[in-house]
Amino acid sequence: MADEMAGEGGGMRKMLIWLPLVLFLGFFGLFASGLLKPDDRVISSKMVGRPLPAFTLPAAASDRPPLASSQLATGKPRLLNIFASWCLPCAAEAPQLMALKRAGAEIDAIAIRDARADVDAFLRRYGNPYARIGLDARSAVQIAMGSSGVPETFVIDGKGQIAYQHIGDIRADDVPMILDRLRSAQ
Amino acid sequence: MRRLLAVMLLLASAPALAQSALPPAPYADRQIDDPALERKARGLMETIRCLTCQSQSVADSNASMAGDMRSEIRQRIMAGETPEHIRAWLIERYGDWVSYEPTAAPILWPLWAAPAVLLFLGLLLLRARIKRRTRP
C-alpha cells in the first residue's frame, strides 16, 4: 500500500517531507528578528496632520493665563508642551524648553493631573518658558490628542493643526530639529 | 517604637512613588449605578490597551492614565455612546494598537481566513486517510 501511495503522488510526498523544516526555519526567522529588533514602545499619535481637538482648560499656574484650543490657531506656529510637576523627565527637559524660548519659540503647555501649588513650585525651580498653561486634571485633552504620556511636545501650525509630535523629553540635540519643525509648520 | 516609626515612614513614602498628586477621576474606580451600562463599559475597558502598562488592559492597570481612561469610558457610556463608537474614537487617536479586538482591516484578512483554511486542509487530510483505509 505504501508503494501504491508513493507511486501516485511520490513527487508531492517528497516535497511534503521538507514542509516541517521550512515551517521551522520560517518561525525561527520570525522569532529571531522579533528578539533582535530593538524594543519599540512608542505610540505615536494618529492626530498628527489633523486639527487640534477643541478644548478649554482652566489655569494650571498662579501667574499664567489658562489655555483654550482657539488660542493655538493664531497664524503662527507654536509649541504645545504636555508636562506634569510629578514627572521627572519633564524636569530634565526644562533647560531645553528655555533654550527653545530664547530661540524665539512660543510655548504653551498643558499640565496633566496636577495641582496649582505643585505647578508653581515646579516652575519656580526649573524655570517657566510657557505663555499659557492649561490644567488637564483628568487627562481628557491628552487622550483626545492621542498623546500617551508626559512629556510630549507638539508643533501646532498657524491653522491650529498638529504638525509634529515629539514623544519623551527634548534632549539638547533635539532643539535644532524642533526649531526646524516649527519653522516649516507655517 | 522603632517599628511604629518604620511604618509611619513607609506610609509617608507612598506619595513619592505615586504617579500623580490628584485623586483618581470620578469614575476610575467606581462602577456605573446601572448594571447594564456597567457591563457595557466593562466589556470595552477589558479590550482597550493601557498606554502606560502596555500589556495590560485599562480595566487591569493601576496607571493613573488608565484610571482616567476608565472614567472617560464610563462617562461616555452614561452619556449614551455605544462601546464601538468609543473604540473607534480611541483608534482614531492611537491606531488599531489601542484595541485588543481585531478589526476587519485588510491586513488582518489572513487571520480571519486562517480557521477556514485550516479546517479545509484538515478535511482534505481526513478524506485522504479515509480513502486509504477503505481501500482493501
Q: Is the Cβ pair A47, B93 closer than 8 Å?
A: yes
The rounded distance, in Å, linking the Cα atoms of A114 and A87 is: 10
Could you tell me if A67 and A21 lie in one domain? no
Q: Does A13 fall in a domain?
A: yes
Q: Is the reported ipTM for this assembly greater than 0.90? A: no
Could you tell me if B87 and B68 lie in one domain? yes
The length of chain B is 136
Cα distances (Å, whole numbers) of residue A47 to A51, A107, A162: 8, 19, 7
Could you tell me if B62 and B125 lie in one domain? no
Quick count: other Cβ atoms within 10 Å of Cβ A73?
16
Stronger pLDDT, A183 or B19, i.e. the higher one? A183
Residue A57: which of A164, A134, A163 has the closest Cα? A134
Q: Does B36 fall in a domain?
A: yes
H or E element at residue B104? none
H or E element at residue A152? strand A152-156
B72 and chain A: CB distance < 8 Å anywhere? Answer: yes
Mean pLDDT, chain A, integer? 92
Could you tell me if B68 and B88 lie in one domain? yes
Give the SS3 label for residue A121: helix
Confidence class for position B53, pLDDT limits 50, 70, 90? confident
Categorise residue A14: left if φ over 0, alpha if ψ from -120 to 50, beta otherwise.
Answer: alpha
Residue A45: which of A145, A159, A140, A112 has the closest Cα? A145
Confidence class for position B17, pLDDT limits 50, 70, 90? very low
Q: Does B1 fall in a domain?
A: no
How far is the alpha carbon of A136 from chain B, nearest alpha carbon, in Å?
11
User: How confident is the model at residue B55, as a pLDDT?
Assistant: 87
The rounded distance, in Å, linking the Cα atoms of B17 and B11 is: 11
Could you tell me if B39 and B73 lie in one domain? yes
Q: Does A46 fall in a domain?
A: no
Could you tell me if A154 and A71 lie in one domain? yes
Could you tell me if A103 and A14 lie in one domain? no
Give residue A40's Cα distance to chain centre. Answer: 12
Enclosing domain of residue B120: 106-136
User: How confident is the model at residue B12, as a pLDDT?
Assistant: 53
pTM to 2 decimal places? 0.79
Confidence class for position B19, pLDDT limits 50, 70, 90? low
Q: Does B6 fall in a domain?
A: no
Stronger pLDDT, A110 or B135, i.e. the higher one? A110
Give the SS3 label for residue A109: strand
Confidence class for position B11, pLDDT limits 50, 70, 90? low
Categorise residue B98: left if φ over 0, alpha if ψ from -120 to 50, beta otherwise.
Answer: alpha
User: How confident is the model at residue A105, as a pLDDT?
Assistant: 95
Q: Please write the tens of the pLDDT for every residue from A107-134.
A: 999 999 999 999 999 999 999 999 999 9
Q: Does A42 fall in a domain?
A: no
Could you tell me if B115 and B64 lie in one domain? no
Q: Does A104 fall in a domain?
A: yes
Question: What domain count does chain A have?
Answer: 2
Q: Is the Cβ pair A139, B69 closer than 8 Å?
A: yes
Could you tell me if A110 and A143 lie in one domain? yes
Could you tell me if A21 and A94 lie in one domain? no
Could you tell me if B52 and B28 lie in one domain? yes
Cβ contacts of B135 on chain A, cutoff 8 Å? 1
User: How confident is the model at residue A1, as a pLDDT?
Assistant: 42
Could you tell me if B115 and B58 lie in one domain? no
Mutate which: A86, A116, A136, A138, vs B, most B CBs within 10 A:
A138
B18 and chain A: CB distance < 8 Å anywhere? Answer: yes
Tell me the CB-side half-sphere exposure of residue A57, using CA atoms within 13 A.
33
Q: Is the Cβ pair B68, A5 closer than 8 Å?
A: no
Could you tell me if A63 and A145 lie in one domain? yes
Give the SS3 label for residue A56: strand
Q: Does A48 fall in a domain?
A: no
Enclosing domain of residue A21: 2-36
The rounded distance, in Å, linking the Cα atoms of B127 and B77 is: 51
Could you tell me if B61 and B126 lie in one domain? no
Q: Indicate if the pLDDT at residue B1 is higher than 90.
A: no
Share of chain B above pLDDT 90, in %: 65
Q: Calculate mean pLDDT across residues A15-28.
A: 93
Cα distances (Å, whole numbers) of residue B124 to A12, B117, B121, B128, B129: 15, 11, 5, 6, 9
User: How confident is the model at residue A38, as a pLDDT?
Assistant: 85
User: How confident is the model at residue A5, as a pLDDT?
Assistant: 47
Say which residues have a Cβ less than 8 Å from residue A57's Cβ, sequence separation at least 6: A66, A67, A68, A110, A134, A135, A136, A141
Confidence class for position B14, pLDDT limits 50, 70, 90? very low
Q: What is the CATH number of the domain that holds B86?
A: 1.10.8.640
Question: What domain count does chain B have?
Answer: 2
H or E element at residue A103? none
Measured CB to CB, residues of chain A less than 8 Å from chain B are 1, 5, 41, 43-47, 84-86, 112-115, 118, 137-140, 142-146, 148-149
**Structure-block grid coordinates of residue A11:** 513527487
Q: Please write the tens of the pLDDT for every residue from A45-88.
A: 999 999 999 999 999 999 999 999 999 998 999 999 999 999 99
Could you tell me if B41 and B25 lie in one domain? yes
SS3 per-residue string spanning B111-128: HHHHHHHHHHHHHHHHHH
